[in-house]
Amino acid sequence: MRNLLNFLLKYNNLIVFLILEGIAFYLLANGNHYHNSRIVNGFQGITRGVNERISNTKTYLSLREINSDLAAQNSSLRDTLRALKQEQSIGFTDVTDTVAGQKYKYTPARVINNSVNRQKNYFTIDKGTRQGIQPDMAVICGNSAAGMIVGCSENFSVAISMLNLDFRLSARLKSNGYFGSLTWDGKNYRYALLNEIPQHIALNVGDTIETTAYSAIFPEGIPIGTVDEYKKSGSDFYVIKVALFTDFKKLNYVDVIADLQRDERLGLENRFK
């Protein structure tokens, strides 16, 4: 204690100096937008490097799993190809559709930062405006919905995860086409909720839920999950618990879907609002 007091007495000027400079820096960092953003950017530069390294290692460790996923996807694609070829050989002819052109464009990307344990989860991917990514594009993992791009820098983009309280997605039952809105209740990262499905329709556990084209973000018919259980709530609608296809805890390789006709469609729709 005595030593401590002696120490404080000996260096009191230095201590006053450091305290005052600390206050000045605190004010500088908090009161000026420019300084604040410089400091925050500096820290983010450091953490981004670390994040990238961590995710590189993680990717390496799960290569075996990714490999088998890819093999499965390959074989299913080959199946589809075979089926299409069969159809063609039965009598359909190949017509190049020059009027419509290509509607969706896929860009593969890697997830370099992700979380599932917050109430508002976002993930970061390693592609940005330079690679043609824009906000409001859909993100799928394998063949199931995963999220939506909300912000881009030159080389990175941040997507809002389906596991976010602010996330809304128009979704429908594959079997009969009734649509509702899909949200997350913030509880379990494997399940989401589908609301606004009227109670008069027949519902079965295991029914597939897929996206609609209403949002002009996701293409139609991207699988989301299956009905895990459903309850009749007090109102006229079911509360449906949906088991998600996408496992957000091992989100790794994703595809970003650009709707090439989105601007045209929204432009037309806006004229009637």
Partner 1 sequence: MINSALRLILSGILLILFQILILNNIQFSGYVNPYVYIMIIMMIPSLTPAWLLLIAAFSAGLVIDLFSGSPGMHAGATVLAAFSRPFVLRLIAPRDGYESGSDLSLAVYGLRWFFIYASAIVLIHHTALFFLEVFRFEGFFRTILRILVSSAFTLGFILLLEYYRKGK
Residues within the interface to partner 1 (CB under 8 A) = 12-13, 16-17, 20-21, 23-32, 34-35, 38
**Closer Cβ to partner 1, 12 or 235, answer by number:** 12
Exposure class string for 94-130: b at 16+ Cβ within 10 A, else e: eeeeeeeeeeeeebebbbbbbeeeeeebbbbbebbee
Q: How far is the CB of 19 from partner 1 (least distance, A)?
A: 9
Contact 147, 131 (CB under 8 A): no
Q: Closest distance between partner 1 and the C-beta of residue 18, in Å?
A: 9
Tokens linked to 19: 């305290």
User: Considering the complex, what minimum distance in angstroms separates the CB of residue 154 from partner 1?
Assistant: 19
Tokens for 163, please give them. Answer: 């596991």
Q: Between 13 and 86, whose beta carbon lies closer to partner 1? A: 13
Which residue, 17 or 104, has its beta carbon nearer to partner 1?
A: 17
Closest contact distance (angstroms) between CB of 29 and partner 1 is 7
Q: What Å distances lie between residue 204 and 86, 201, 221, 246, CA to CA?
A: 33, 10, 19, 21
The Cα–Cα gap between 169 and 216 comes to: 11
Nearer to partner 1, 29 or 70 (CB): 29
